[in-house]
Chain A
Amino acid sequence: MSELNTSISLTQTYPAKFNALQKTGLTLTGIGILTIFLAWAGAGTTQPLLCLLITIIGLFSGGILYTYGTYGHLPKGIKNNRNFISSISSGGTLAWISAVAITGFYVVLYWRDHWKTVFGTDIFSGLVHMFDPLSQLLRKSDADQWFVYGSFYTIAVLIMGTKFIYKYRHNNYQILRTCSVMFFQLGFAWLIPGIMKALYNFEPFYSYFWPLDYDAIFPGTLSYMLDRPGNLGVFFIFWGIVMSFIATPLLTYFFGKRWYCSWVCGCGGLAETAGDPFRHLSDKSISAWKIERWMIHSVLALIILTTILILVSDVIGEHLKLSINQYVYYAVLIGLAYLVYRGIAKSGSQMRLRPTMIVLGCITGFLILYALIPNLKTGDQVVSFSTAGLAKWYSFSIGMVFSGVIGVGFYPIMGSRVWCRFGCPMAAYMGVIQRFKSRFRITTNGAQCISCGNCSTYCEMGIDVRAYAQRGQNIVRASCVGCGVCSAVCPRGVLKLETGPDNAARTEVLFTSEDLKILV
């Protein structure tokens, strides 16, 4: 075993040898980032416009120059050199520092009001004020931390999207798909909500639907929408319901879940652009696949249950409540944990301890603890659940911690699609359709596979694409988001995303060595 691993240490971190354009690009990016810190430190309050301009110009020009310096002098084609050598893209020092920094930034941002009370001052004011000029221009109001977050998010999608397009400039599928996610992020997740805020003081996101937009059909949201001026709120509700329950199943049937996950969704958009340098870090083991199926379908079940309960309790006019003895509750919890363990461990292969499992285990543990603490009342030894508590728990644990903090912050360690793969209820919902009733598949080209492993390695969803391709089987998997990168990186032209008849041939092994023989 020791000899097996020597290749990794033998693959020495030879110097990157940056050219002048790359160095200029990195310098400008550095100036942009430095300006963010200066603004944060106070310059953003006194000189918001100047700080904003330097930041935006620095980041965009730096990003574009670096991209051009990196790929411009090379003929078009697959550019994956050094992915497992560079510190940032191979889970090295830089990766860990960025993971902690991005996660921390989100945590700090989310609890802005909390830090105000802790420090006695708004430590965010400089950074938020830097965005006032932009916010005034777009939304006719001052910036808040969510506008700051949304703007950084959009900037990241645009810059890294441009880089991605240039990297894949030989591939029309990648170009169109990336233009699409950039368009939806900029237009549907940034401009339109901003303009609506200026005009109607209301920020609708038309590209998120239940169950991803988990409270879209909660009674509170519905009544808020009905109070909006004109028919805007009514339209928003109508749009959301049509998209969730009619358009989503239909589009998924015809095109697979990629119509949303890798063409429209903002989470997917960031994963496909800013997350691209990390896509190969996803865990491909069978145990990761087992955890994935448990987790993502649990989240889907949970949000369906929560939504139904909260709608029922609204109809009957009071919160549903369940109280049980805390020891009974603990016993049930331990029993459940054991069943989950058995379920995962059962199907034969050894459960080896992997980073994915440790991290996901910690997350699950944290979320369960969080759910318990506010419900534990001292003295009466009773654990009680209410629909309101359930919704609040989902909102915090899944909507904020999982999709927000972990979903983005863990890119450099666990790959770009942690949330999409392990948590997103929308992905789970469309995945069920894609697996059982859809025209979408990845077609394997006869017997041309050479088992090299590029497809599996570059699958951000952790699908072992090669396992299917090398036996001539088409790939039909619930989790496939249809990014098309497996097809792009295949050196032998073996994989093609396509839609065809939804019949048995979609999944059968169609091309075995028997088929190669002349029929005599």
Chain B
Amino acid sequence: MHHVIIGNGITGITAARTLRKLSDDTITVISGETDYFFSRTALMYIYMGHMRFEDTQPYPPEFWKKNRINLLKKWVKQVHVDSKLIEFDNGDTLEYDTLLIATGAQSNKFGWPGQDLKGVQGLYSYQDLLELEANTRNGINRGVIVGGGLIGIEMAEMLHARKYPVTLLVRETNYWNNVLPEQESDMISHHIRHHGFDLRLNETLTEILGDAQGRVRGVITGSGEEIACQVVGLTAGVAPNIAFLKGGSINVDRGVVINQHMRTNIESVFAAGDCAQFQHALPDRRPIEQVWYTGKLQGECAAKNMLGMPTLYNPGYWFNSAKFLDIEYQTYGTVLNKLRDGESEFYWEHPDREKAVHIVYRTEDRLFIGINVFGLRMRHDIFNTWLQQGKSVDYVLTHLRAAHFDPEFYRHFEDAVIQSWNAQHPNHMITLADAKSAKKMIFKNA
């Protein structure tokens, strides 16, 4: 058997490693982007000088040979599913028995005038990083970031690290409030401004202006203001990178359409990660999941199905994390930006506006549904267990100390959280369990 994977990101590589763990088959990973797998999420740290590119590669070069995973640095032009053949842009071909499409995504461009000028770019690939280096090589006076998401804030932080002023144009009324509830969104907006960024909420992009050389020289906003800048970051989301499949017989919509076995409409062709779109989304989840962890889970699931071990995509409870400048964010379970019918919430925020806890539960039976944590660290395994066991919000709050994951000697905020809860819920007063019982819960395997 020859398994071929297009894309050497976290999804493709997780699939390759899983295939190797479970079989002795031939494995080939194709990527035109880089020679070796690197952590896409770390691109910003290279630009800021925290790491070198090779530091973002999770496995040393000898790893691939040792695990007999063939790497091929080529761009795919077309897939011929009838003859099970991949055609590269230089005319070469490669035969496969099973194929995994894990080509990731690319930055959205919504047809703005001037969006193809020099100095206008997204941030997703290694090539994007090189482009940003080139675009700022001679220094810039200002960068404008369009779109208020996770990549937007990263790009803003990158430019800021090199002491370039940054303006963020965000369509929403508050930062990322299409995902975050209003309270957290407001706190993050405050934090972004506290760092000295020019954050424009309720603001859109109308046009990107170019100079005689075809380089960006400024933008015109929705409210008609002209802002001079030399770099424009387009970070209004990403879309599946599947142009090479258009017009072929693999079924595509926004992404490559797959079923719960990660299989496309073609028997031997699978897709996973940022480029894949579930025909039927799982409850509480989106049809296209574009985060690191789902890429990992989908890659593993796809590999098992490629080996003929029928495995349904069953990712368990949602979790994610991010970092907004200096505020870390972790989430477990489901906390949507707006409460759904039958849901209640509890929100606590520290007066310093850098720490917050947001808990959502079912009003009727008080079932714990999810938590957002900002500026504090909490334990994944503890929350996953509580979600699995269907614990109540009262149970979660009582044992909140067991979830604490901040470094030693950090101030604890469980008492403040519970105080705030008790003030709001006199009929459901909580007494925090002591540190000893928390320790017992953490080290339950003892």
Asked whether, in the complex, the Cβ of B377 is within 8 Å of the Cβ of A11, the reply is: no
Asked whether, in the complex, the Cβ of A500 is within 8 Å of the Cβ of B443, the reply is: yes
Known: A80-B49, A450-B41, A517-B316. A14 touches B162 (CB 8 A): yes
Is A451's CB within 8 Å of the partner chain B? yes
Asked whether, in the complex, the Cβ of A172 is within 8 Å of the Cβ of B326, the reply is: no
Cβ-closest chain B residue relative to A12: B137
Give the CA-CA distance A16 to B66 in the complex, in Å: 43
Cβ-closest chain B residue relative to A489: B50
**Which B residues touch A78, using CB under 8 A?**
326
> How many residues of chain A have a CB within 8 Å of chain B?
71
**Which B residues touch A447, using CB under 8 A?**
293, 296, 319, 380
Asked whether, in the complex, the Cβ of B405 is within 8 Å of the Cβ of A445, the reply is: yes
25 CB contacts below 8 A, A to B, read A4-B35, A7-B126, A7-B130, A11-B46, A80-B49, A80-B50, A81-B50, A81-B161, A81-B162, A172-B407, A176-B409, A349-B66, A445-B405, A446-B380, A450-B292, A451-B39, A487-B407, A492-B321, A492-B322, A496-B377, A497-B408, A503-B446, A505-B443, A510-B445, A517-B314
Is B58's CB within 8 Å of the partner chain A? yes
Is A285's CB within 8 Å of the partner chain B? yes
- Stretch of A82-90, A364-372, A407-415 contacting B (4+ beta carbons < 8 Å): A82-90
Asked whether, in the complex, the Cβ of A448 is within 8 Å of the Cβ of B319, the reply is: yes
Interfacial residues of chain B within 365-381, with CB under 8 A of chain A in the complex: 377-381
Is A10's CB within 8 Å of the partner chain B? yes
Interface string of A474-505 (1 = CB under 8 A from B): 00000000001001110111001110110101
Asked whether, in the complex, the Cβ of A83 is within 8 Å of the Cβ of B407, the reply is: no
Cβ-closest chain B residue relative to A85: B49
Cβ-closest chain A residue relative to B292: A450
Interface residues of B (CB under 8 A from A): 10, 34-36, 39, 41-42, 45-58, 60, 62, 66, 126, 129-130, 133-134, 137, 139, 161-163, 194-195, 292-293, 296-297, 300, 314-317, 319, 321-323, 325-326, 328, 330, 377-381, 384, 388, 405-411, 439, 442-443, 445-446
Give the CA-CA distance A518 to B51 in the complex, in Å: 37
Asked whether, in the complex, the Cβ of B328 is within 8 Å of the Cβ of A348, the reply is: no
Give the CA-CA distance A49 to B49 in the complex, in Å: 42
Looking at the assembled complex, report how far the CB atom of A483 sits from the nearest CB atom of chain B, in whole angstroms. Answer: 11
Asked whether, in the complex, the Cβ of A77 is within 8 Å of the Cβ of B326, the reply is: yes
Interfacial residues of chain A within 317-371, with CB under 8 A of chain B in the complex: 348-350
Is A171's CB within 8 Å of the partner chain B? yes
User: Which of B51, B134, B137, B378 is in CB contact (< 8 Å) with A453?
Assistant: B51
Give the CA-CA distance A418 to B409 in the complex, in Å: 28
Is A416's CB within 8 Å of the partner chain B? no
Give the CA-CA distance A492 to B320 in the complex, in Å: 9
**Which B residues touch A83, using CB under 8 A?**
49-50
Cβ-closest chain B residue relative to A458: B50
Looking at the assembled complex, report how far the CB atom of B310 sits from the nearest CB atom of chain A, in whole angstroms. Answer: 15
Known: A80-B50, A285-B60, A487-B407. A452 touches B321 (CB 8 A): no
Cβ-closest chain B residue relative to A352: B62
**Which A residues touch B388, using CB under 8 A?**
518-519
Give the CA-CA distance A374 to B389 in the complex, in Å: 72
**Which A residues touch B130, using CB under 8 A?**
6-7, 10
Asked whether, in the complex, the Cβ of A445 is within 8 Å of the Cβ of B377, the reply is: yes
Give the CA-CA distance A489 to B50 in the complex, in Å: 10
Cβ-closest chain A residue relative to B318: A516
Give the CA-CA distance A280 to B406 in the complex, in Å: 23
Known: A456-B55, A493-B330. A446 touches B195 (CB 8 A): no
Asked whether, in the complex, the Cβ of B53 is within 8 Å of the Cβ of A7, the reply is: yes
Is A200's CB within 8 Å of the partner chain B? no
User: Which of B45, B49, B162 is in CB contact (< 8 Å) with A454?
Assistant: B45
User: Which of B53, B328, B411 is in CB contact (< 8 Å) with A8?
Assistant: B53
Looking at the assembled complex, report how far the CB atom of B237 sits from the nearest CB atom of chain A, in whole angstroms. Answer: 19
Cβ-closest chain A residue relative to B408: A173
Asked whether, in the complex, the Cβ of B137 is within 8 Å of the Cβ of A501, the reply is: no
Known: A4-B35, A78-B326, A503-B446. A488 touches B407 (CB 8 A): yes
**Which B residues touch A456, using CB under 8 A?**
55
Interface string of A452-483 (1 = CB under 8 A from B): 11101100000000110010000000000000
Give the CA-CA distance A280 to B46 in the complex, in Å: 13
Known: A501-B443, A517-B315. A446 touches B379 (CB 8 A): yes
Looking at the assembled complex, report how far the CB atom of B144 sits from the nearest CB atom of chain A, in whole angstroms. Answer: 20
**Which A residues touch B296, using CB under 8 A?**
447, 513
Looking at the assembled complex, report how far the CB atom of B197 sits from the nearest CB atom of chain A, in whole angstroms. Answer: 12
**Which B residues touch A1, using CB under 8 A?**
35
Asked whether, in the complex, the Cβ of B407 is within 8 Å of the Cβ of A496, the reply is: yes
**Which B residues touch A488, using CB under 8 A?**
407
Asked whether, in the complex, the Cβ of A348 is within 8 Å of the Cβ of B380, the reply is: no
Asked whether, in the complex, the Cβ of B321 is within 8 Å of the Cβ of A453, the reply is: no
